[in-house]
Structure 1
């Protein structure tokens, strides 16, 4: 991953003084995930370019990893886009390589600090999975940048595959060096959903420090704050209130995207599903329960209302989702006794894990359809053969109902990340096979309003161990 900064300021070699990097030296800095290299591909009085090249070590990256490869991909920590795109790693490299310039210091020529220089910035690949070109322009153009974008195709050999979610980004502006670096430091990670670092209140300090003088008046400040703090509402609200000089933010919106009528209908279905699963768990008589693929913890919040559950555990492959769950459960504000009931941990559904053993009941709510079919057998063995809970409550979409959704038909899936969706007969056949293979009695139920001939939007199977 490479970032180039070019100036035609006269003399252009002043860039070396501003960035505290000698044009004749190739310099390397150690990062927690690899190395950052700084060098000058061109240098002259009329034009000088400095390059920051990241050399990411995938093994080092995994050692301190968060969710770097996306959800539901077993090798995601090792096979991902981190070495090739500008991300939160680039912000760390910027702050380490150009710390003095970012703090507005220039030992040899201090008078240059406040001089606005003509800059051109080129970032070879920057991700924008949600918002794309519009999002990038909304972040940079209000700051005065001329923005040029070229979207990368997925594979030049297979143009029919279409475009990727990555862009070549070129920026042009006349601005101080400190301003340029602070903009890049904040905005690059806001365009990327996979932060490599743990987001805490310390990140608020960094955001406000680097955003001083420009973030407060940016028209997209709320979205920038949210995305920088990975949509953690309590931290985002706190940052916005501090940026607004203590003024309480009454209308802070967690998600500014207007939901469609279809999405609202799905949310209502989701509420019904969570409520029914919670009821079935209560009926099971379980004391220790586990939510596999717990996401943001909606089911866990329901279960906490029931005193019969002495331990409520949640596992998810996404560390980001676990952070959201902890925040939305208000975990830090709970009493010590209540905290003792909750255990959140990261893990995969397709690998045997002793942490899954010993639970009375396990819930798997709208999860299996995110697994590749060739990994489903591994999931079956992990849950039903090795963990072997007394009760398993599992839900998945009913494919036949898709014709009821706007812009869907029987051949389309409800979500881009779904690997499969089953009809009622396919689900029943699978559930009965599981029951026979692993000694579980099985019952199936519809979830949501039942339509004649096509059933309900979702379906549930309850597995009870033994005869």
Structure 2
């Protein structure tokens, strides 16, 4: 993935987080924190929590945070799995999962759905994932994934089918968009679903 495409993805995700006026944000699978450090520098966020299973990634993120001003009121990092619901993480205004679901075995996606949409139940959920249709434009060979740790990469129709089912099961509305480029036939390098809890 080129740095330009990565920047486009981060800007799109951040815009969706902020458009709803979120004051509490949960970054699930925050990794080294490319989005997290931007959220931490954003005034108006009262509580920001990052979750990742990799302690080395969290350490690198701590180092990044130490070198920049933090505007968010409360910032915390936790080593945990996003597929395990935690009552302490319930009730956030927004949760983001940026290029993370494709690292989960498809047979475990139901655990993620239950943890995020059923137990944590943020008002808004933002999910981005690679668009498999765009892979040829990135030079990815057929029958290969962009990253060796990816367990799947979905075309847009498959992602939308999954997102619509999840929204229906857990009482959310959902909208979809292409991000990080917009080819007339292949869409963007990534695709985004924005879930909003129904009253």
Same fold (TM > 0.5)? yes
Kindly state the Cα deviation for residue 355 of structure 1 after the two structures are TM-superposed: 2.8
Match of 2:119 among 378, 386, 406: 386
Q: Counterpart in 2 of 1:24?
A: none
Say whether residues 1:362 and 2:95 are aligned partners. Answer: yes
Q: Counterpart in 2 of 1:411?
A: 143
Larger Rg: 1
TM-score normalised by length of structure 1 = 0.41
Which whole-Å CA distance do the structure 2 matches of 1:323 and 1:379 have between them? 24
TM-score normalised by length of structure 2 = 0.94
Which whole-Å CA distance do the structure 2 matches of 1:289 and 1:326 have between them? 17
| Cα-to-partner distance string for 1:195-254 (whole Å, 9 max, x where unaligned) | xxxxxxxxxxxxxxxxxxxxxxxxxxxxxxxxxxxxxxxxxxxxxxxxxxxxxxxxxxxx
| Cα-to-partner distance string for 1:103-130 (whole Å, 9 max, x where unaligned) | xxxxxxxxxxxxxxxxxxxxxxxxxxxx
Say whether residues 1:317 and 2:49 are aligned partners. Answer: no
Which whole-Å CA distance do the structure 1 matches of 2:73 and 2:187 have between them? 41
Q: Counterpart in 1 of 2:107?
A: 374
Kindly state the Cα deviation for residue 340 of structure 1 after the two structures are TM-superposed: 5.0
Q: Counterpart in 1 of 2:29?
A: 293
Kindly state the Cα deviation for residue 339 of structure 1 after the two structures are TM-superposed: 7.7
The within-5 A match list for 1:244-263 is 263=1
Contact kept? 1:275, 1:302, Cα under 8 Å: no
Kindly state the Cα deviation for residue 410 of structure 1 after the two structures are TM-superposed: 4.0
Q: Counterpart in 1 of 2:135?
A: 402
Q: Counterpart in 1 of 2:41?
A: 305
Contact kept? 1:431, 1:442, Cα under 8 Å: yes
Contact kept? 1:292, 1:314, Cα under 8 Å: yes
Contact kept? 1:402, 1:412, Cα under 8 Å: no
Which whole-Å CA distance do the structure 1 matches of 2:35 and 2:100 have between them? 13
Runs of 4+, deviation exceeding 4 Å: none
Say whether residues 1:346 and 2:82 are aligned partners. Answer: no
Which whole-Å CA distance do the structure 1 matches of 2:86 and 2:142 have between them? 36
Match of 2:18 among 282, 286, 291: 282
Which whole-Å CA distance do the structure 1 matches of 2:118 and 2:60 have between them? 31
The within-5 A match list for 1:107-186 is none
Which whole-Å CA distance do the structure 1 matches of 2:181 and 2:160 have between them? 19
- Could you say what secondary structure the match of 1:328 adopts? helix
Structure 2: which 5+ runs fail to align? none
Kindly state the Cα deviation for residue 268 of structure 1 after the two structures are TM-superposed: 1.7
Contact kept? 1:400, 1:410, Cα under 8 Å: no
Q: Counterpart in 1 of 2:163?
A: 431
How many residue pairs get aligned? The number is 199
Structure 1: which 5+ runs fail to align? 1-262
Which whole-Å CA distance do the structure 2 matches of 1:423 and 1:302 have between them? 29
Q: Counterpart in 1 of 2:196?
A: 464
Which whole-Å CA distance do the structure 1 matches of 2:123 and 2:45 have between them? 15
Kindly state the Cα deviation for residue 409 of structure 1 after the two structures are TM-superposed: 3.3
